[in-house]
C-alpha cells in the first residue's frame, strides 16, 4: 500500500456541523507556528478574548477558548461548577441535554431531569415546577440550540426563572453562537460554552467559554478540587489571564493549539466585520429561503415555527423514502452533506444546517435543486423548478 498526502474531497457541508470553513480561516491556519508564550502570540490571545467577548455579548473577564472541542467546553463548565452532592436541574429535549445529565453524574452531582419531547423547546413551566419541587437545587442547565432536533429554547426566560430560585445557569450555545441571538450579559447567563465549527465558520476543535463573577465565585469556593487537572479553571487561568501569577505574567499550563487559535481569531474577526446582529439576520433570511423551497416540494419541518432554529432545519423524511440512500446519493453525486436524525429521530429526519459560511444563497439553491432531483429519482414526484423559484423569490424579498 502506498500512502500519499491526504487530499480531502471538496464538499458542501450542510449537516449539523462542522460547517464549511471560510477560506480566510483556512489560510490563517497555514501561517507560521510561533511559540505559545511568544509576545506576538500573547497579544493575539488578548485580541481573541476581546473578539470572543463581543460574539458572546459579554464583559466577562473569564472568556476564552478551551483547547478541545465543544464537548470539552461542556465538561469544563460542569466539572468546575458542580461539586459532589450538588443538585442540578437539567432540561433535556435532545441528545445534548442528555449529555449534560451524564456530565452532572460524572462530576459527582445529582441530576434532576426535566424531559421535553424531541423537536420541542424546553418548557419553562416544567422548569418552574422542578425548581419548586427541588428548592435545594444549585444549578440549572439546558441547551439553547438543540442540534439533534433544530429546536431553540428561550434562554432569557429560563435563566431569569433559575435566578429567581437562586440557581446558577449553564447554557450550551454550541450551535447558537454567531447564528442566532446569544446575549450572555443581558440575559445574565452564568456559564456558557460554544464550539468553533458551527456558525463561527472555523475548524472543529475549540470550545469558547465564558463565566461571570457569580459562577467564578462558586469555582473559587469549591471545597474539593476539580476532578480534571486539564480543565481546572483555577489552573488554566494562569495561562489565559495570568491569574494568580506575579505581575499577572502568563505561565505554562499546556501547549496551546497555536495555529487553530489563528483560525479562531480570523473567524471571529470576520464575524465582527459582518456584525453579530447582521450575522443573525443572514441566518434568519437564509432559513426562510430554504424553508420556502422545502415547503414547495411538499416537505415538512419538524419543529413548530416559533421554536425553529434558523441554522439547523429538521425535515421529515417523506414516507417510502430511504433516508440513508438519499444522503448517500447527495454526497456521491453532488458532494453535498446533509445530517441524519439521531436517537428516536434516526431514519425519520434530515438535518439541514445553514451555519456560518455554509449559510449562503448558492448553498440553498444547491441543496433544494439536488434534493429535488434525488427525491424524483427515488420515486417521489416533486416540482424542483417551482421550489427553486420559491427560493429565489424569498432571497430577493
Ligand atoms: C448542542 C451541542 N453541544 C455540544 C456539542 C459537542 O461539540 P463537539 O462535537 O465539538 O465536541 C455539539 C456538537 O455537535 C452540539 O451540537
Residues above pLDDT 90, as percent of the chain: 94
Choose which residue among 75, 155, 195 to substitute to test ligand 1 binding: the one with the highest number of ligand atoms within 8 A of its C-beta. Answer: 195
Question: From the CB of 103, is ligand 1 less than 6 Å away?
Answer: no
The pLDDT tens digits of the residues spanning 173-216 come to: 999 999 999 999 999 999 999 999 999 999 999 999 999 999 99
Mean pLDDT of 310-334: 97
Secondary structure of 227-291 as H, E, C letters: CCCCCCHHHHHHHHCCCCCHHHCCCCCCCCCHHHHHHHHHHHHHHHHHCHHHHHHHHHHHHHHHH
Q: Answer yes or no: is pLDDT of 263 > 90.
A: yes
H helix runs in the chain, sequence order: 23-29, 39-56, 70-81, 95-106, 124-133, 155-164, 184-187, 213-220, 233-240, 258-274, 276-296, 323-334, 361-377, 384-396
Contacts of 341 (CB under 8 A, 6+ apart): 148, 314, 317, 323, 347, 348, 349, 350, 351
Output helix, strand, coil percentages for the chain, rounded to the nearest 5.
Answer: 45, 15, 40
Note the pLDDT of residue 247. 64
Q: At 382, is the secondary structure helix, strand, or coil?
A: coil
Mean pLDDT of 75-97: 98
Dihedrals φ, ψ of 90, to 5°?
Answer: -115, 125
Residue nearest to atom 2 of ligand 1 (CA): 174
Q: Which residues of 306-342 are buried (b: 16+ CB within 10 A; e: fewer)?
A: ebbbbbbbbbbbbeeeebeebbebbeeebebbbbbbb
Contacts of 191 (CB under 8 A, 6+ apart): 77, 80, 81, 168, 169, 170, 171, 209, 210, 211, 212, 215
143 CA → ligand 1 middle, Å:
10
71 CA → ligand 1 middle, Å:
6
Query: How many whole angstroms separate alpha carbon 300 and alpha carbon 287?
Result: 14
* Contact indicator for 145, 309 with CB cutoff of 8 Å: yes
70 CA → ligand 1 middle, Å:
5
All three cell numbers of 139, joined, read: 444549578
Note the pLDDT of residue 241. 76
The pLDDT tens digits of the residues spanning 120-174 come to: 999 999 999 999 999 999 999 999 999 999 999 999 999 999 999 999 999 999 9
Dihedrals φ, ψ of 242, to 5°?
Answer: 70, 20
pLDDT band at residue 246, thresholds of 50, 70 and 90?
A: low
Q: Answer yes or no: is pLDDT of 240 > 80.
A: no
Question: From the CB of 68, is ligand 1 less than 6 Å away?
Answer: no
H helix runs in 134-202, sequence order: 155-164, 184-187
396 CA → ligand 1 middle, Å:
33
Dihedrals φ, ψ of 152, to 5°?
Answer: -110, 135
Note the pLDDT of residue 385. 98
Contacts of 237 (CB under 8 A, 6+ apart): 62, 243, 244
Q: At 146, is the secondary structure helix, strand, or coil?
A: strand
Model pTM score: 0.97
- Report the alpha-carbon angle 54-58-64, nearest 5: 75
Mean pLDDT of 211-224: 96
Mean pLDDT, the chain, rounded, equals 96
196 CA → ligand 1 middle, Å:
10
Q: How many CA atoms lie within 13 A of 193 on its CB side?
A: 27
Query: How many whole angstroms separate alpha carbon 283 and alpha carbon 340?
Result: 21
Question: From the CB of 70, is ligand 1 less than 6 Å away?
Answer: yes
* Contact indicator for 307, 155 with CB cutoff of 8 Å: no
Amino acid at each position: 500500500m502506498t500512502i500519499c498526502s491526504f487530499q480531502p474531497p471538496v464538499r458542501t457541508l450542510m449537516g449539523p456541523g462542522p460547517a464549511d470553513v471560510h477560506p480566510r480561516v483556512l489560510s490563517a491556519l497555514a501561517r507560521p507556528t510561533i511559540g505559545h508564550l511568544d509576545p506576538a502570540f500573547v497579544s493575539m490571545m488578548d485580541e481573541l478574548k476581546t473578539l470572543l467577548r463581543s460574539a458572546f455579548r459579554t464583559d466577562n473577564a473569564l472568556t476564552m477558548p478551551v483547547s478541545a472541542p465543544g464537548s470539552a467546553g461542556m465538561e469544563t463548565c460542569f466539572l468546575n461548577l458542580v461539586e459532589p452532592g450538588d443538585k442540578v436541574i437539567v432540561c433535556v429535549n435532545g441528545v445534548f441535554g442528555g449529555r449534560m445529565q451524564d456530565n452532572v453524574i460524572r462530576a459527582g452531582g445529582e441530576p434532576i431531569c426535566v424531559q421535553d419531547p424531541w423537536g420541542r423547546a424546553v418548557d419553562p413551566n416544567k422548569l418552574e415546577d422542578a425548581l419548586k419541587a427541588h428548592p435545594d437545587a444549585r444549578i440549572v442547565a439546558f441547551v439553547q440550540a438543540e442540534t439533534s432536533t433544530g429546536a431553540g429554547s428561550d434562554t432569557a426566560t429560563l435563566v431569569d426563572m433559575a435566578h429567581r430560585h437562586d440557581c446558577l445557569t449553564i447554557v450550551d450555545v454550541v450551535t447558537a453562537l454567531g447564528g442566532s441571538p446569544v446575549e450572555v450579559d443581558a440575559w445574565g447567563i452564568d456559564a456558557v460554552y460554544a464550539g468553533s465549527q458551527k456558525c463561527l465558520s472555523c475548524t472543529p476543535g475549540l470550545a469558547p467559554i465564558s463565566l461571570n463573577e457569580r459562577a467564578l465565585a462558586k469555582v473559587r469556593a469549591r471545597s474539593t478540587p476539580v476532578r480534571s487537572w486539564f480543565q481546572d479553571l483555577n489552573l488554566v487561568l494562569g495561562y489565559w489571564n495570568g491569574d494568580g501569577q506575579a505581575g499577572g505574567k502568563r505561565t505554562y499550563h499546556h501547549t496551546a493549539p497555536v495555529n487553530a487559535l489563528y483560525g479562531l481569531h480570523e473567524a471571529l474577526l470576520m464575524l465582527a466585520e459582518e456584525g453579530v446582529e447582521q450575522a443573525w439576520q443572514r441566518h434568519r433570511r437564509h432559513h426562510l429561503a430554504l424553508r420556502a423551497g422545502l415547503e414547495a416540494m411538499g416537505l415538512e419541518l419538524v419543529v413548530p415555527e416559533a421554536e425553529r432554529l434558523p441554522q439547523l432545519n429538521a425535515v421529515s423524511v417523506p414516507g417510502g423514502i430511504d433516508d440513508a440512500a438519499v444522503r448517500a446519493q447527495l454526497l456521491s453525486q453532488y458532494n453535498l452533506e446533509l445530517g441524519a436524525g439521531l436517537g428516536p429521530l434516526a431514519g425519520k429526519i434530515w438535518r439541514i444546517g445553514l451555519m456560518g459560511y455554509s449559510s449562503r444563497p448558492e448553498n440553498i439553491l444547491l441543496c433544494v435543486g439536488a434534493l429535488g432531483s434525488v427525491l424524483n429519482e427515488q420515486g417521489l414526484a416533486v416540482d424542483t423548478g417551482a421550489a427553486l423559484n420559491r427560493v429565489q423569490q424569498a432571497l430577493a424579498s
